[in-house]
Amino acid sequence: MTQFKRRDILKGMGGLAGLSLMGAGPLRTALAQGMASDEAWKQASGTTIQFISENTPPTTAIAANLASFQELTGITVNITEMQLGALVQKVALDFGAGRSAFDVIYADPYQVLAPYHRGLVDLNTFINDDQQPVVPQGIEDFIPSQLAAAGRFKDSESLYTLPYDCPTMIWIYRRDLFEKYHDQMQQDLGFDPTPSDSTTWEQYYQIAEWFSNGNASEVQYGTGHQALQYDSLMCDFSNVLFAYGGDYFANGQQVGLLGTDSPGECQLTSEPALEAARFYQKLLKVAHPGSTSWDWTGVANAFQNGEFAMMPEWHEFAGSLESSPLQGKIGYAPLPKGPARSANLWGGTGIGINANASAEKQKAAWLFLVWATSPQTQLMGLKSEVGGGTPTRQSVYDMPEVKAASTPPTDMPNMLTADTMLTAWQDDHIGLRPKIAQWNEVDTVIFTELSKMLAGQMSPEETMQSAKQRIDRIVGA
Amino acid sequence: MALTTGKPSAQRQGFELAMMSPALFLLALITLVPFFSIIWMSFNDVSLMGGLAFEFSGLENWKRVFTDPDIRSSWLISLVYFLATVGLEMVIGTVMALLVYSLTRGSNIIISMLLIPMFIAPVIVGLLGRFMLDPSHGLYAWLLNESGLFDGNILGSVGSAMVAVILMDVWEWTPLVALIVLAGLASVPEDTLEAAEMDGAKYSQKLIYIILPSISNILLVALLIRAMDAIRFFAIIFITTNGGPADSTKIIPIRLYDIAFRFFDLGYAAAVGITMLVFSIMVATAFTKLLKRQETSS
């Protein structure tokens, strides 16, 4: 077998800085020179691997550009895309069977990583292997909070996935309306309504009410929410909960970043959590009534149809919104702050390798992981005409062409949110739900109880009490 | 050629059994093994990690089935849903069949048009329903709003969401009932109807005393088929409301899906699934007994 020395592999790494200037260009050459020798890339040639992924924009872009990876490595990748729920079932059953129908796994931190991390390869095995291509610019290039939240579980050493996508909830609003009615709003409300770091959730509510009172002819309501009895409702509420200083478990940020097997007692009956629930109930009363039947896609469609002026929404919707009739009329900001902070729920995911896969397939899978999360592939995703997500690496945001694309007009619409996102991912802004094995069940309790609250069946106090009791039973606290 | 009569000989029975045994064995393998596995699962905590593993937990799962308030609430919602859908489908389907049967011209075209909903996959019906009832751009939502009949969020409000999913199921499956009843109407004795007419009987009297009793068997068959289907109803609710809002449409199959494929609590899911199976068998047995009694009396 051909042996590769680290210096062979690192050969050409000096040119990495230049990579950022090369654009998507001849990807094969750039990657081969930047990360390893041709031999290193070809070491699993002829292998076929299976990649299971949620049907997300980054995978759509990667699927459209797989030819460059196959040319580089000689590896064939079959991609299976599906809804996250279906993916979790397939992965769980794959692990249960002790087989490897899928070699590369889109490992949602809460539904796959936390319960099934033992089924994933610790990537340090490959990172420390001289024969493998290096992760360009090292894993330190990934946004730190995303690396921990997507890739680690329980300890800060083992790494199960590389950050692959990073949808995060931010404040998306009709900039044209905020500009048009700025003076009138300021006069009526007594504060500058322009969304900024200093806007509070209480002010968000007042702005929403102002629009809903018929002060702007363009929209009927001020705010719309993803409050369908579904995961989306938990996401929407969590932004408020964290902002008010509440959390699901004690030491919430740590439980969100690294995860735990024993989160302890649920904290939803704390005063900040109760205050958050009260506020959320009040906010939803002035929101578009359709909110209780919309998930993230539904609320984005309604926003695009001009139903309301603003919404908390995943930032990756910017791509589709900027190609709608609202192009150029939309503004982006971190979510409002509460008494504690501004919290922007992170919903990113990493990709990992199935530990049941054969050694040959694991090697091929690692080559795919390195390629799929490389700066050049992420740049390709940004430019892709079929979608593409937003980068998970700092170096991509530092590329001059990417920086230039963060102001309109742009051919990378997702980059219009770049400044907002770099704020939203900071440790004091990012919102992290608990990374625990029982999350699916806990999540269901949260959105079911909240749905009862929004339907008027329970008060905020009863809702939080009932949720706490059920969650404590589930986690065994 | 001489015809054989009476019971086949033991030798011949043995030969037939030998010929059928591979198929019987296969049938047993694909039905009995999963069946007994599920029963065994219901007495265990089942783990998927590192290969399927069972840890005996005794009656724990069964205790939960009968004490879990969520399961109780889902059964109650299922019962409401079951009675409403099956009841409406039987009444509307029978009326539709009677109307079509009374047509002298164009009945074939009408029947073809009536059957269209039945050929659409339930998932598509759910997606269509969600689209038509969307509060921001749905046609039905707009019509209801403009007419002043309902100005809320249909799929996002308790009560209206249940009515909506019931009506979607009724829209899709009433034609099946109509088709079955239409087939039955062909067997109504014409001479009896003519005699009743000669005696001056009104349509309602013919309906109550001749038509409905004549097709009662076929009505029971339709009821049985729809009842079995309604118990395991899933797709439309999964697509439109996913059990919400406030769990108001969380019928037992949706709850079972959550337990099995979202929480992967497979032991508990097995216990819940068995209770559904028992309920189905009870309903089927009741209808079959009714059918037999009907046949005996006629």
Q: Which helix (H) or strand (E) holds A285?
A: helix A271-286
What is the model's pLDDT at position A46?
96
Contact A69, A371 (CB under 8 A): yes
What is the model's pLDDT at position A409?
84
What span, in angstroms and rounded, lies between the C-alpha atoms of A137 and A122? 19
Q: Sort strands A221-223 and A308-314 into parallel, antiparallel or unpaired.
A: parallel
Please state the separation of Cα A177 from the chain's center in Å. Answer: 28
Contact B238, A230 (CB under 8 A): no
Closest CA to B287 of B231, B232, B223: B223
Kindly list the distances between the CA atom of residue B187 and the CA atoms of B100, B174, B195, B197, B215, in Å, as whole numbers in the listed order.
15, 21, 16, 18, 8
Kindly list the distances between the CA atom of residue A407 and the CA atoms of A197, A291, A376, A412, in Å, as whole numbers in the listed order.
19, 31, 21, 10
Please state the separation of Cα B295 from the chain's center in Å. Answer: 23
Note whether A230 contacts B244, CB cutoff 8 Å.
yes
How large is the average pLDDT for residues A88-113?
92
A281, A292, A295: best mutation site toward chain B, by most B Cβ within 10 Å? A292
Give the chain B residue whose CA is nearest to the CA of A98.
Answer: B51
Query: DSSP letter at A336?
Result: P
Which tops the pLDDT comparison, A112 or A31? A112
Contact A276, A467 (CB under 8 A): no
Place of tokens 């889109």: A106
- The model's confidence at residue A33, banded by pLDDT at 50, 70 and 90, is low
- The model's confidence at residue B7, banded by pLDDT at 50, 70 and 90, is low
- The model's confidence at residue A5, banded by pLDDT at 50, 70 and 90, is very low
B37, B44, B48: best mutation site toward chain A, by most A Cβ within 10 Å? B48
Closest CA to A126 of A348, A350, A349, A361: A361
Contact B265, B257 (CB under 8 A): no
CA distance B131 to chain A (A): 10
Query: Which of A3-7, A275-279, B19-23, B216-220 ranks highest by mean pLDDT?
Result: A275-279
Place of tokens 């739900």: A433
Residue among B242, B246, B262 whose CB faces A455 most closely: B246
Note whether B156 contacts A93, CB cutoff 8 Å.
no
- The model's confidence at residue B60, banded by pLDDT at 50, 70 and 90, is very high
How large is the average pLDDT for residues B166-187?
95
How large is the average pLDDT for residues A365-380?
95
* pLDDT, tens only, B201-211: 999 999 999 99
Contact B230, B176 (CB under 8 A): no
A293, A308, A463: best mutation site toward chain B, by most B Cβ within 10 Å? A293
Residues 6+ apart with CB under 8 A from B17: none
How large is the average pLDDT for residues B92-109?
92
A vs B: CB pairs below 8 A: 104
What is the model's pLDDT at position A40?
86
Is the pLDDT reported for residue B2 higher than 60? no
Please state the separation of Cα A101 from the chain's center in Å. Answer: 26
Is the pLDDT reported for residue B100 higher than 80? yes
Contact B45, B268 (CB under 8 A): no
What span, in angstroms and rounded, lies between the C-alpha atoms of A191 and A210? 13
* pLDDT, tens only, A419-455: 999 999 999 999 999 999 999 999 999 999 999 999 9
Contact B232, B253 (CB under 8 A): yes
Kindly list the distances between the CA atom of residue B164 and the CA atoms of A41, B128, B134, in Å, as whole numbers in the listed order.
56, 12, 12
What span, in angstroms and rounded, lies between the C-alpha atoms of A337 and A426? 14
Average pLDDT across chain A, whole number:
90
Give the chain B residue whose CA is nearest to the CA of A111.
Answer: B262
A243: amino acid identity, one letter: A
- The model's confidence at residue A8, banded by pLDDT at 50, 70 and 90, is very low
Residue among B51, B135, B262 whose CB faces A98 most closely: B51
Residue among A227, A302, A455 whose CB faces B136 most closely: A302
How large is the average pLDDT for residues B18-35?
91
Kindly list the distances between the CA atom of residue A94 and the CA atoms of A114, A439, B46, in Å, as whole numbers in the listed order.
16, 20, 15
How large is the average pLDDT for residues A304-322?
93
How large is the average pLDDT for residues A344-365?
96
What span, in angstroms and rounded, lies between the C-alpha atoms of B250 and B238? 9
Place of tokens 């980068």: A391
Contact A124, A132 (CB under 8 A): no
Cis peptide bond N-terminal to A334, omega within 30: no
Is the pLDDT reported for residue A103 higher than 90? yes
Residue B252, classed as helix, strand or coil, is helix
What span, in angstroms and rounded, lies between the C-alpha atoms of B124 and B76? 27
How large is the average pLDDT for residues B226-241?
91
Residue A200, classed as helix, strand or coil, is strand
Query: DSSP letter at A75?
Result: -
pTM: 0.86
* pLDDT, tens only, A120-147: 999 999 999 988 998 999 999 999 999 9
Please state the separation of Cα B184 from the chain's center in Å. Answer: 20
What span, in angstroms and rounded, lies between the C-alpha atoms of A150 and B90? 53
Gyration radius (Cα) of chain A, Å: 23
Mark out chain B residues that contact chain A at CB-CB < 8 A. 48-52, 133-137, 152-158, 241-248, 258, 261-265
Contact B45, B55 (CB under 8 A): yes
Contact A140, A319 (CB under 8 A): no
Give the chain B residue whose CA is nearest to the CA of A354.
Answer: B50
What span, in angstroms and rounded, lies between the C-alpha atoms of A350 and B48? 22
What is the model's pLDDT at position A53?
96
ipTM of the complex: 0.82
What is the model's pLDDT at position A38?
79
Give the chain A residue whose CA is nearest to the CA of B262.
Answer: A440
Contact A433, A248 (CB under 8 A): yes
Give the chain B residue whose CA is nearest to the CA of A230.
Answer: B242
Report the number of secondary-structure helices (H) and strands (E) in chain A.
25, 11
User: 3-state SS of A168-183?
Assistant: EEEEEEEHHHHHHCHH
Note whether A452 contacts B246, CB cutoff 8 Å.
yes
Partners of residue A232 in chain B, C-beta under 8 Å:
none
How large is the average pLDDT for residues B102-126?
92
Residue among A229, A293, A301 whose CB faces B246 most closely: A229
How large is the average pLDDT for residues A52-68?
92
What span, in angstroms and rounded, lies between the C-alpha atoms of A330 and A195? 12
Average pLDDT across chain B, whole number:
91
Q: Which range is least confidently modeled, A35-49, A154-168, B109-123?
A: A35-49
Closest CA to B172 of B217, B110, B235, B216: B235
Contact A24, A380 (CB under 8 A): yes
Query: Which of A333-347, A383-397, B188-202 ranks highest by mean pLDDT?
Result: A333-347
Whether A446 and chain B come into contact, CB under 8 Å, resolves to: no
Vertex B95 angle, CA B92 and B99, to 5°? 135
Is the pLDDT reported for residue A194 higher than 70? yes
Place of tokens 């900024």: A196
Is the pLDDT reported for residue B50 higher than 90? no
- The model's confidence at residue A408, banded by pLDDT at 50, 70 and 90, is confident
A229, A448, A450: best mutation site toward chain B, by most B Cβ within 10 Å? A229
Closest CA to A68 of A44, A41, A50, A89: A41
Residue A53, Cβ neighbours under 10 Å: how many?
26
Residue B259, Cβ neighbours under 10 Å: how many?
25
What is the model's pLDDT at position B5?
55
Give the chain B residue whose CA is nearest to the CA of A299.
Answer: B136
